[in-house]
């Protein structure tokens, strides 16, 4: 390490020793988090109604607090946003992270009280750096600038002192001083609202900076890197930023982008570090490049539970969640969290699989429902079903079945969604149907809309027609005929779509 990085790293050694204790103290740490959460929540209406206190043990907690999704919390969160006190957190909450919505809402709003921001989100960011420096002592991190890119824009006031924005905007607004000194572009630029002008400004600010690290979502960062190359005329990013050494990435899978990044950044010193951070909390960090999975962070004011996917159903009251110390390797679990942010036994919709139990490491294995999140769009079946309905109403069409999957244009750092639709009554103008479908998806899902803005990350969807009986034939070939089986409507993998297209092209269905 250079002198500056080494001096700052000395501060991290005590914290790293605590993280190393995760292997032997996991159950104790988790029960301590639960006590911390219950102690803080004891001053809230939520805790009083359920007779919760710091002395409540785990078994009693699970008996009194039902598993919840956003719909169950929505009413209380709206009360908090109107300025009511002591609802889910003590006092009031001024900040709400806006993320993609549920069945009945375009967006959902996750409370982010200051304590949760500090003890979870910022601690996660600093721990990711300390672990990286431990693993790579040749780093010169603090002698360079860190390029941070999010989908952020200035938070919006919704009255009663509450503000909403995506998580990256909230993090920028409260960035600690050290982060402000090291980060590019400027806060003013990061919070610009108009994306095209913002991207141009970012490129001008960062092109001549001594950038040593990147942080952001792979798809968005790829767009920026290509813009930087176009602006500078350089042949690759290593020529622009010779000190670049690490990309902290998260939000979507990095796998489809890995080879493209290697071509853009041919430096042998370049490393890629995965993090698991969501609006609801910071959960895991890649801690060992030799191991599969990310280290589950156990002392962030989050108490974890897990519902085996084999037991998952729509009826949350029928589900049984287990604590961390009862999970098994190789099984998929729906993630359930209780946090200092006012979420209690909350199912965030992600599924994880454990790759190690000492310490606990996870990979993100999917979502509890079918979805597409190849570019950070978080498109859910509820969105696509409603968009299909609106497009049918507008064109007089009728849809029998459909499926959709991502299509990557890696050279451009962009993509689109490919749709295969079987109509029982086809529209007169399929191009018009596709346009309306795309417009409705933008209306229903704010993350999809952001990625579609001026084709910045997503091009308009592409529509293919399926002949009558195609989906039935595919299910029959899979031995899955029957009311309980259907072709997945959405998938991050192109497997189902490609199999259906191959069946269409190799058979003669009417």
Full DSSP string of 416-442: EEEEEEEEEE--S-HHHHHHHHHHHHH
Q: What are the pLDDT digits (tens) for 265-276?
A: 999 999 999 999
Strand partners, 337: 304, 346
Q: Give me the chain's average pLDDT, please.
A: 90
Answer yes or no: are the C-beta atoms of 379 and 451 closer than 8 Å. no
- How far is residue 416 from each of residues 255, 299, 382, 498, measured CA to CA in Å? 17, 39, 19, 15
Whole-number pLDDT of residue 480? 57
pLDDT-derived band of residue 50, with 50, 70 and 90 as boundaries? very high
Which two three-digit tokens encode residue 398? 């009728």
pLDDT-derived band of residue 256, with 50, 70 and 90 as boundaries? low
pLDDT higher than 60, residue 99: yes
pLDDT higher than 80, residue 145: yes
Q: What are the pLDDT digits (tens) for 19-35?
A: 999 999 999 999 999 99
Strand partners, 372: 379
- How far is residue 213 from each of residues 85, 218, 272, measured CA to CA in Å? 41, 13, 10
Q: Where are the CATH 3.30.300 domain residues in the chain?
A: 371-506
Highest mean pLDDT among 223-227, 356-360, 378-382: 356-360
Which residue, 348, 357, 350, is CA-closest to 330?
357
Which residue, 250, 279, 276, 252, is CA-closest to 117?
279
- Pick from 65-69, 296-300, 441-445, 487-491: least confident: 487-491
**Element (DSSP H or E) covering residue 348:** strand 346-357
Whole-number pLDDT of residue 399? 87
What is the spatial distance between Cα 317 and Cα 67, in angstroms, rounded to a whole number? 7
Q: What is the arithmetic mean of pLDDT over 496-508? A: 90
Vertex 202 angle, CA 201 and 204, to 5° = 65
Length of the chain measured in residues: 510
pLDDT-derived band of residue 483, with 50, 70 and 90 as boundaries? very low
Whole-number pLDDT of residue 329? 96
What is the spatial distance between Cα 292 and Cα 272, in angstroms, rounded to a whole number? 13
Question: Between 381-395 and 430-444, two packed helices, what is the crossing angle to 10 degrees?
Answer: 140
- Pick from 41-45, 402-406, 421-425: least confident: 421-425
Fold held by 371-506? GMP Synthetase; Chain A, domain 3 (3.30.300)
- Pick from 102-116, 136-150, 282-296: least confident: 102-116
pLDDT-derived band of residue 249, with 50, 70 and 90 as boundaries? very high
**Element (DSSP H or E) covering residue 216:** strand 211-216
Q: What is the arithmetic mean of pLDDT over 85-93? A: 97
SS3 401: strand
């Amino acid at each position: 390490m250079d002198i500056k990085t080494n001096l700052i790293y000395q501060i991290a050694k005590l914290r790293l020793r605590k993280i190393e204790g995760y292997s032997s103290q996991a159950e104790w740490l988790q029960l301590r988090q639960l006590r911390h959460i219950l102690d803080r929540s004891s001053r809230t209406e939520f805790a009083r109604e359920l007779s919760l206190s710091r002395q409540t043990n785990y078994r009693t907690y699970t008996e009194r607090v039902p598993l919840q999704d956003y719909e169950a919390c929505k009413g209380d969160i709206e009360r908090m946003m109107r300025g009511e006190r002591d609802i889910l957190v003590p006092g009031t909450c001024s900040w709400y992270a806006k993320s993609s919505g549920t069945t009945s809402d375009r967006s959902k709003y996750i409370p982010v009280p200051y304590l949760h921001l500090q003890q979870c989100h910022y601690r996660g960011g600093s721990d990711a750096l300390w672990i990286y420096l431990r693993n790579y002592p040749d780093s010169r991190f603090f002698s360079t600038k860190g390029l941070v890119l999010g989908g952020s824009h200035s938070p919006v006031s919704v009255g009663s002192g509450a503000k909403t924005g995506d998580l990256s905007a909230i993090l920028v607004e409260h960035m600690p001083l050290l982060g402000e000194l090291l980060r590019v572009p400027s806060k003013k630029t990061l919070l610009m609202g108009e994306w095209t002008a913002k991207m141009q400004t970012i490129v001008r600010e960062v092109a001549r900076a001594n950038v040593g690290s990147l942080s952001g979502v792979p798809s968005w960062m790829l767009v920026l890197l290509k813009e930087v190359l176009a602006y500078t005329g350089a042949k690759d990013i290593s020529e622009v930023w010779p000190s670049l050494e690490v990309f902290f990435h998260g939000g979507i899978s990095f796998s489809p982008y890995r080879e493209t990044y290697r071509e853009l950044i041919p430096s042998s010193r370049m490393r890629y570090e995965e993090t698991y951070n969501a609006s609801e909390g910071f959960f895991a960090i890649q801690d060992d490049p030799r191991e599969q999975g990310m280290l589950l962070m156990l002392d962030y004011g989050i108490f974890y539970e897990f519902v085996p996917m084999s037991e998952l159903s729509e009826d949350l009251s029928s589900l049984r969640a287990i604590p961390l110390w009862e999970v098994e390797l190789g099984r998929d679990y729906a993630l359930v969290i209780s946090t200092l942010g006012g979420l209690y036994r909350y199912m965030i919709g992600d599924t994880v699989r454990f790759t190690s139990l000492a310490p606990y490491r996870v990979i993100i294995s999917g979502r509890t429902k079918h979805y597409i999140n190849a570019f950070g769009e978080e498109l859910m079946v509820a969105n696509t079903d409603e968009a299909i309905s609106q497009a049918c109403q507008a064109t007089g069409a009728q849809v029998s079945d459909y499926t959709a999957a991502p299509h990557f244009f890696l050279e451009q750092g962009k993509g689109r969604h490919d749709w295969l639709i079987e109509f029982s009554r086809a529209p007169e103008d399929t191009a018009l149907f596709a346009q309306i479908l795309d417009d409705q998806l933008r209306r229903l899902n704010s993350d999809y809309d952001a990625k579609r803005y001026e084709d910045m990350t997503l091009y308009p969807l592409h529509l293919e027609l399926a002949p009558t009986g195609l989906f039935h034939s595919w299910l029959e070939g899979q031995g899955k005929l029957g009311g309980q089986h259907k072709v997945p409507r959405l998938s991050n993998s192109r497997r189902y779509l490609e199999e259906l297209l191959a069946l269409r092209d190799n058979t003669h269905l009417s």
